[in-house]
Amino acid sequence: MVTKRTSVRAGSQESATASIRYEDDSVRSVEFEQLRRGSFDGSVPWRQVRSAKGHKHHPGEYASATTRGLVVYESRLELARLLLADFDPQVVGILAQPCRLRARVGGRWRLHVPDFLLVLGDGNVRVVNVKPADRLLDPEIAEALAWPGDLVEGHGWQYEIWSGADPVLLANVRFLAAYRRAGVVPDEDIAQAWEVVQDGDPLTVAERRLAAGRPVEDVRPAVLALVWSGRLSVDLSRPIDGDSVLRRAA
């Protein structure tokens, strides 16, 4: 969906800023043009996420393999985007609610807290806002999400408004996420699976060879841990099953 962009006023007496909260609860405001990835070192989410009985958005904390820590989210849709970010080999850092943006837009000052900031392995940064597709039909919401994009892209960073992904892809990533954390599967089992699995093996064939007479359930976690890590890949556009073809990373 294309949203109307409301340009951020340039050359105003007060420039756009990003306010960042740190672990000691101090807050530092940085002129946006001076903002760098390192500005977020030691930072914490701008808002505290609290869950309550009857809360419609289901907030929580996600144990990320990428950050090796907890990342907060405020809805199930945000959790879905977090899972995909954690699975993405290009993403090397994830920050939730990284800052509060302040900029002069349409003659008045506006505030906005992005949902996520993703640090990419090539050094780039992507700011992500998560919103259901039907909410983007509201012109006020579309405009409120558009001006931060002008600001972010004008800074040379990437900007994304995310409303969901293919349900089969999400279901597969949720399934694989059970094997994302170090120590869930012994390292020696993963190393053995990597030695045994051949490029082009269907999952059941690879499991039988690796099991060598043992129950395949004993060896399946090691194969799936390799898929989560990206060393093995499968077609995620269809449900993972015994016929899924495994491909070794180059």
Q: What is the per-residue pLDDT across 42-59, written as a single tens digit (0 to 9) for each?
A: 999 998 876 655 656 689
- Report the distance separating Cα 243 and Cα 250, nearest Å: 22
CATH number belonging to domain 17-162? 3.40.1350.10
- Give the pLDDT score at 53: 59
* Residue whose entry in the numeric block shows the structure tokens 């993405």: 88
Residue spans per domain, the chain: 17-162, 167-248
Whether 207 and 223 have beta carbons less than 8 Å apart is answered as: yes
Mark out the alpha helices in the chain (DSSP H runs): 76-87, 139-154, 167-176, 187-196, 203-211, 220-229
Which residue carries 């089969």 as its tokens? Answer: 168
Report pLDDT digits (tens) over 72-91: 999 999 999 999 999 999 99
User: Who wins on pLDDT, 244 or 250?
Assistant: 244
Contact by Cβ (8 Å): 232, 200: no
Once rounded to an integer, what is the mean pLDDT over residues 94-122? 96
For the whole prediction, is pTM greater than 0.85? Answer: yes
Write the Ramachandran bin of 134: left for phi over 0, alpha for psi from -120 to 50, otherwise beta.
alpha
